[in-house]
Each structure stands twice: as C-alpha cells, then as structure tokens.
Amino acid sequence: MPATRPEDILCPTPAGLRSKAGDFHIDPTRPVPKALITHGHSDHARAGHGSVLATRETLRIMAARYGEGFAGSAEAVTLGETMRIGETAVTFQPAGHVLGSAQIVVEAGGTRIVASGDYKRRADPTCLPFVPVPCDIFITEATFALPVFRHPEPQAEIGKLLASLAQFPERAHLVGAYSLGKAQRVIRMLRDAGYDRPIYLHGSMEKLCRLYEEEGVALGPLAPATVASGKKGDFAGAVVICPPSEIAERWARRFPDPVACFASGWMRIRQRARQAGVELPLVLSDHADWDELTATIAELGPQEVWVTHGREEALVRWCELNGIPARPLHMVGYEDEAE
C-alpha cells in the first residue's frame, strides 16, 4: 500500500477541513454527509449535516441551539477513545476552550494530524483542560496570533469586576459575555472568588447556563434580569450577564446607572473597548494568546504547522524562524463569535 499523503488525511476545502481517507469533514461550514465537530460555537457547529460525531456535551449544545433535528443522525464520542473511520483512526481529546470542546486527532499510514479547533491553555473551571498530543502536523487556530496579545491572569480580571462592585455599590454592572462558554466562565469564576449573591441573566443566557449546570458546572443562585416584578433600584450593585451587543443599548437603561463591562480577549485593544462603549474592559479569553500558541507548538514539536483562521501570517513567520515549516490554510467561515 502506498504511503498516505498528509493531504489525503486532512485537506482544506471550501466546506472546511476534509478527510479523503476517512470520508468526513471537520467543523464544516456547509452541509456535508459526515461531520466531526470540535465544539458548539455556531461557526464550528452548524445544523444540517447528514451525521454528526461530537462529544455528548457538544451534541447537547447543538440540540439546545438548533433543536433535536439538527442533523440526520448524531453519535457521541468518548474522549480519548480511538475509533476507525474509513482508512483513518480518530480520537477526540479535550481542547480547554468551552464545555465539551475537543481536538480531533486523525491518523493514517503512520502520520498523525491534530486539528485542535479552538483552544486555550489557561485554567477554566467550566471545561476539561487541553491535552497536548504530540503529532506530525499540528493544525492551530490564530485568533490572537500577534505578539501584542498577551492575556492577563483571568483571576485578576475578575478581581477588577469585584473591585468595581465594591467601589460603586449603587450601580448595576452589566457584563457582556458570549452565551456559550464566556458567560458561564465569568459566573463560575465569580463564585470561586467568593461572590455568592444572585447573578442576573439576560433571557438569551438562560438555556445554556441551565445546560452547564446539568453537566455539573455549578453556577450558584441565578435569576432572570427582568424589571417587571420589581423596581429599577432592585438592581443596585447587581451583576447582570448579557450579550455584548446589549451593554450600550436601550435594554441597558432599565438598570441603575449601569457600568458597561465586556469580557473578551479583544478588550486588550483599548480602542475596541472605547468603540463598544465599554467602561470596564475585562480581558478574558477562551482562545490561546501569543505565548500560549507558540509554547504549544514548541511543546508538541510537530514537523509542520497548518494555521487556520485568525491572524495567520505572524504565526507562520514565527514557525519558520523556529525551523518549523508552516502554512496558512486560508479557511473562511470561522468568525470570532467565541470571543
């Protein structure tokens, strides 16, 4: 049998990464017969595939977002368990990004490729930590692949929020956070820092917070952020979690003198915070920063690096300067939703 070329194991196509040897796609952006999904963010997990293979948590997140009929069929994988798909051996391993997130390890003909999806290396109390898998080819994201992106310690950012709450006990603190992952991480970190008061949720946050709780991530007392039953003053000193798009909008004005906060890796860029009307930026990211990206590549020691979405050029150059052949895959259809 001829040696399997890496391009036959995984190759970028307009529909996403495709495995010819396994006859499947990873995180396809268009409907395909067989999809392997790394995690539940909407740019990676789309509805309408023939069959879907993902972790149980990711399948639950997809069902919560798209309804039970999100795919023709769905099968849950067990992390760390290798299965045969066509001519390939496939293993899902934790990615440390959000609940249920996984890297997908694809092997054939003695070559191992790791498609890491989105990942981070910082501690996150709401999901399993990233498992480093040594490989021949490492496919990495590049959302924050510029040396300017160095995320501060997450606890320090939560500390800023707590300090502001203490300083402005009469003001509501509106924390903009994406509904899958970031919202639950902020809540869980507040609890770990000793904050035990009720935390109020925008309606769009409730379903996924409940799902996290059912999956064993305790979030403490939660309540809907509705003023119908009370007065504006009831939210004095309260923490309200809402979509980032709401923090500077009409919806925010129902709360007393709101402090607009936004938990995102992009808050590292002062101008971006200003443009979004953010008073208290919290630099909290579910993606690897520059140091995490480069340290991960150094740790795994791949013979080659493929870079998917984000700021590919700087990371490709870093790899080349370090003697590792690298190329951008120019994948389209993956947004920054998770941030």
Residue type, 233: G
In the shown chain, the binding pattern of residues 183 to 222 toward Zn ion, with x for contact by CB under 5 A and - for none, equals: ----------------------------------------
- Which member of 18, 20, 25, 41 binds Zn ion (CB under 5 A)? 41
Tokens 């099968």 -> residue: 75
Q: How far is the CB of 51 from Zn ion (least distance, A)?
A: 22
Q: Which of the 8 DSSP states describes residue 87?
A: T
Nearer to Zn ion, 41 or 46 (CB): 41
Which of these, 142, 242, 130, lies nearest to 183 by C-alpha position? 242
Nearer to Zn ion, 37 or 77 (CB): 37
Q: How far is the CB of 338 from Zn ion (least distance, A)?
A: 3
Q: How far is the CB of 41 from Zn ion (least distance, A)?
A: 4
Yes or no: say if 238 and 172 are a contact pair by the CB < 8 Å rule: yes
Q: Does 104 bind Zn ion (CB under 5 A)?
A: no
Q: How far is the CB of 164 from Zn ion (least distance, A)?
A: 28
In the shown chain, the binding pattern of residues 113 to 152 toward Zn ion, with x for contact by CB under 5 A and - for none, equals: -----x----------------------------------
Beta strands 82-85; 88-94: pairing state: antiparallel
Q: How far is the CB of 32 from Zn ion (least distance, A)?
A: 19
Q: Helix axis angle, 206-214 relative to 56-66, nearest 10°?
A: 150
Beta strands 199-201; 239-242: pairing state: parallel
Residue nearest to Zn ion (CB): 338
Nearer to Zn ion, 19 or 285 (CB): 285
- The span of 41-49, 229-237, 240-248, 300-308 binding Zn ion (CB under 5 A) equals 41-49
Nearer to Zn ion, 107 or 118 (CB): 118
- In sequence order, what DSSP letters do the residues of 232-300 get, joined into one string? GGGGTT-EEEE-GGGTTSGGGGGSSS-EEEEESGGGGSHHHHHHTT-SEEE---SS--HHHHHHHHHHH
- The span of 37-45, 146-154, 220-228, 252-260 binding Zn ion (CB under 5 A) equals 37-45
Contacts to Zn ion from residues 264-303, by CB under 5 A: none
- The span of 25-33, 40-48, 135-143, 268-276 binding Zn ion (CB under 5 A) equals 40-48
Which residues face 240 on adjacent strands? 174, 200
Yes or no: say if 116 and 145 are a contact pair by the CB < 8 Å rule: no
Q: How far is the CB of 315 from Zn ion (least distance, A)?
A: 17
Within 8 A by CB and 6+ apart from 115, the residues are 10, 17, 26, 38, 103, 104, 105, 106, 139
Within 8 A by CB and 6+ apart from 281, the residues are 261, 262, 264, 267, 270, 273
Q: Does 338 bind Zn ion (CB under 5 A)?
A: yes
Q: Does 61 bind Zn ion (CB under 5 A)?
A: no
Sheet holding 49-55, edge to edge: 11-13, 16-19, 24-26, 34-36, 49-55, 71-77
Residues in binding contact with Zn ion, number by CB under 5 A: 3
Q: How far is the CB of 3 from Zn ion (least distance, A)?
A: 34
**Residue numbers of the site for Zn ion (CB under 5 A)?**
41, 118, 338
